[in-house]
Amino acid sequence: MKRSIALLAGCVSLWTMAAMAQTAAPAPPAPAAQTWTLEDFATLPMMDAPALSPDGLRIASRVAVNGEQKLIVADVAVGGKPVRSFALGENDLNWWRWVNDEWLIAGIGAESNVEGTPWSISRVVSVRQDGSKMNLLAKDVAAQNAGDVIWTARDGTPRILLAYQSSIYYSDPGFWPQVDEVDVSTGRRKNVVPSREFVRSWYADATGAVRMGVGYNDATRTAKLLYRPDGKSSFRIVDRANRRRSETLIAPILFTADPSRAIASDAHEGTEALYELNLDTLELGKKLFDAPGFDIGSVEEDAAGTGLAGVHYVADAPSVHWFDANLAKIQADIDKAVGDRHARIVSTSRDGQRMIVHVGSADQPGAYYYYDTSAGAMSLLSRVSDRFPTKAHFGPVKTIHYKARDGLDIAAVLTLPAGREAKKLPLILMPHGGPFARDAEEWDWWVQFLAWRGYAVLQPNYRGSSGYGVAFAEKGEGQWGLAMQDDLDDAVDWAVKEGIADAGRVCMVGASYGGYAAMRAAQRNGSKYRCAVSYAGVSDLGAMTRYDSRFLNSASRKDWLKEQAPDFSAVSPVNFAAQFSTPILLMHGRKDRRVQVSQSRMMADRLKDAGKVAGRDYIYIEQPLADHHFTRQADRVEFLQQLDAFLKAHNPA
**pLDDT digits 0-9 by tens, 91-107:** 889 999 999 999 999 99
Sign of the Cα pseudo-torsion (157, 227, 215, 295, in order): negative
Flag whether pLDDT at 86 surpasses 70: yes
pLDDT mean over 504-515: 97
Between 126 and 88, the more confident residue is 126
Closest CA to 156 of 102, 105, 111: 102
pLDDT of residue 25: 35
Give the angle 386-391-396 at the CA atoms, nearest 5°.
105
Distances (CA, A) of 436 to 106, 405, 433, 480, 513: 26, 21, 8, 11, 9
Find out whether 585 and 533 touch, Cβ atoms under 8 Å: yes
Task: Pick the closest to residue 54 from 106, 128, 104 (CA basis).
Answer: 104
Does residue 413 contact residue 402 with C-beta atoms inside 8 Å? Answer: no
Q: Within a 10 A sphere around the Cβ of 460, how many other Cβ atoms?
A: 29
Dihedral angle sign, alpha carbons of residues 20, 21, 23, 24: negative
Would you say residue 164 has pLDDT above 70?
yes
pLDDT at 652 over 60: yes
3-state secondary structure of 17: helix
Which one is predicted more confidently, 88 or 210? 210
Q: Is the pLDDT of residue 27 over 50?
A: no
Check residues 153 and 553 and name the one with the higher pLDDT: 153
- At 521, phi and psi to the nearest 5? -65, -45
- Looking at residue 67, its amino acid is G
Span between the terminal Cα atoms of the chain, in Å: 56
Question: Looking at residues 212-241, what average pLDDT do you find?
Answer: 93
Strand order in the sheet with 84-86: 47-52, 58-65, 68-75, 84-86
Q: How far apart are CA 29 and CA 38, in angstroms?
A: 17
More confident residue, 533 or 558: 533
pLDDT for residue 564 is more than 80: no
Predicted local confidence at residue 556, as pLDDT: 52
Angle CA 375–380–385, to nearest 5: 160
Position 114 scores a pLDDT of 76
Q: What is the structure's pLDDT at 557?
A: 57
Nearest to 51 by CA among 350, 323, 324: 350
How confident is residue 10, by pLDDT bands cut at 50, 70 and 90?
A: very low
- Report residue 530 CA to chain centroid gap: 31
Q: Is the pLDDT of residue 23 over 60?
A: no
Other residues' Cβ atoms within 10 Å of the Cβ of residue 169: 10
User: Is 211's pLDDT higher than 70?
Assistant: yes
Order of strands, edge to edge, in the sheet holding 134-136?
92-98, 103-114, 117-128, 134-136
Across 465-491, b (16+ Cβ under 10 Å) vs e yields bbbbbeebbebbbbbbbbbbbbbbbbb
Helix %, strand %, coil % of the chain (to 5) = 20, 35, 45
Averaged pLDDT for residues 285-299: 97
Confidence tier at 558 by pLDDT (50, 70, 90): low
For the beta sheet containing 531-535, the strands, ordered from the edge strand earlier in sequence to the opposite edge, are 397-403, 409-415, 456-460, 425-429, 501-511, 531-535, 584-589, 618-623
What would the DSSP string read from start to end of 48-93? Answer: EEEEE-TTSSEEEEEEEETTEEEEEEEESSTT-SPPEEE--TT-EE
Q: pLDDT tens across 471-485, in order?
A: 999 999 999 999 999
pLDDT in tens, 572-589: 999 999 999 999 999 999
Cβ–Cβ under 8 Å, residues 262 and 225 = no
- How large is the average pLDDT for residues 425-440? 96
Percent of the chain with pLDDT over 70: 92
Give the mean pLDDT of the chain: 90
Judged against a pLDDT cut of 60, whether residue 306 lies above it is answered with yes
Least confident of 17-26, 214-223, 363-372, 617-626: 17-26
Checking if the pLDDT of 75 tops 60, the result is yes
pLDDT of residue 17: 42
Q: pLDDT band for 118, please (50, 70, 90 cuts).
A: confident
CB neighbour list of residue 131: distance below 8 Å, 6 or more residues apart: 73, 84, 85, 86
- pLDDT higher for 12 or 631? 631
Closest by CA to 203, choosing from 254, 275, 167, 168, is 254
79-80-83 Cα angle (round to 5): 110
Residue 31 pLDDT > 60, yes or no?
no
Whether 427 contacts 470, CB under 8 Å: no
Residue 184 has pLDDT above 90, yes or no: yes
User: Is it the case that residue 416 has pLDDT exceeding 70?
Assistant: yes
Q: How far apart are CA 19 and CA 27, in angstroms?
A: 9
Single-letter amino acid, residue 316: D
Q: What is the mean pLDDT of residues 602-619?
A: 98
Query: Cis bond leading into 194, ω under 30°?
Result: no
Percent residues over pLDDT 90 in the chain: 78
Domains of the chain plus CATH, in order, are 1-76+309-393 (no CATH), 88-233 (2.40.128), 250-305 (no CATH), 397-650 (3.40.50.1820)
- Asked whether the beta carbons of 53 and 354 are under 8 A apart, the reply is no
- Residue 127 confidence (pLDDT) above 50: yes
Distance CA 26, CA 544 (A): 43
User: Is pLDDT above 50 for 4?
Assistant: no
Give SS3 for 112: strand
Task: Tell me which of 47-56, 97-106, 500-509, 566-575 is least confident.
Answer: 566-575
Residues contacting residue 592 through CB under 8 Å, at least 6 positions apart: 536, 626, 627, 628
Average pLDDT of 611-633? 95
323-340 pLDDT tens trace = 999 999 999 999 999 988
Query: What Å distances lie between residue 190 and 193, 354, 610, CA to CA?
Result: 9, 34, 59
Using one digit for the tens of pLDDT, what is the confidence trace for 257-276? 999 999 999 999 999 999 99
Residues in the chain: 653
